[in-house]
Amino acid sequence: MANGLVYILQSLVSLYLMAFVVRLSMHWARSDFRNPIVQFVLTVTNPLVLPLRRFVPPVYKIDSATLIIFFLLQWATMGLLAPLACTTSPDVVTVLGLTVISGLRLILSVYTGVIFIYVLMSWIGGGGYNPSLVMISGLLRELAEPLLAPFRRIIPPIGGFDLSPLLLLLGLQGLAQTLVTPAIRLAAPFLCQIGVII
């Protein structure tokens, strides 16, 4: 029962947290704010971000207020999930460490999804004009291209095939898997189910 409750809670909160990751990415990429998808993300995140932004302005391309809210929400979620997923309640340092690891893994997962869907749409696109697909592909392009550009300089297209997304996806997955080891070390004394909380 507890595992099911943890899974449902984590899934719902993760969806909301993804909106903050996308907002961070949109700010970094200077996305077109006329895009309805961008407006939706702003609408669902503004209630928490705008009050803090009065005190915490953006720094260069980083939306500081969104980043702080993202990690505070992640920390609150971890504080609720950890006691449910562990045999004994972890201490504050462990919860904080798991919060950072879980937050970074979520950011990597969102970027993995963005790159994967962007590449998939580039393969199957061109079958006619669809306003919804144009909006989605436009946003995905804005988010993906800044990450793909450095990899394209390392591996130029070979025989018309762009292998840079493959290299980037492997790198993102490698980073995500690397974060599992410190999470296991942190949670081991409390016998936590790592797959449930990160």
* Integer Cα distance of 101 and 41 in angstroms: 24
Q: Residues 52, 72: contact at Cβ < 8 Å?
A: no
Q: What is the pLDDT of residues 30-88, one digit of tens each?
A: 898 889 999 999 999 999 999 999 999 999 889 999 999 999 999 998 888 888 788 88
- Return the percentage of the chain with pLDDT > 70, whole number: 94
How big, in percent rounded to 5, are the helix, strand and coil portions of the chain? 80, 5, 20
Q: Which DSSP string do the residues of 166-186 spell out, in sequence order?
A: HHHHHHHHHHHHHTHHHHHHH
Locate the domains of the chain by residue range. 2-197
Q: What is the pLDDT of residues 85-101, one digit of tens each?
A: 888 888 888 999 999 99
The residue among 113, 75, 105, 115 whose CA lies nearest residue 195 is: 105
Q: What is the pLDDT of residues 145-188, one digit of tens each?
A: 999 988 888 888 887 788 889 999 999 999 999 998 899 889 88
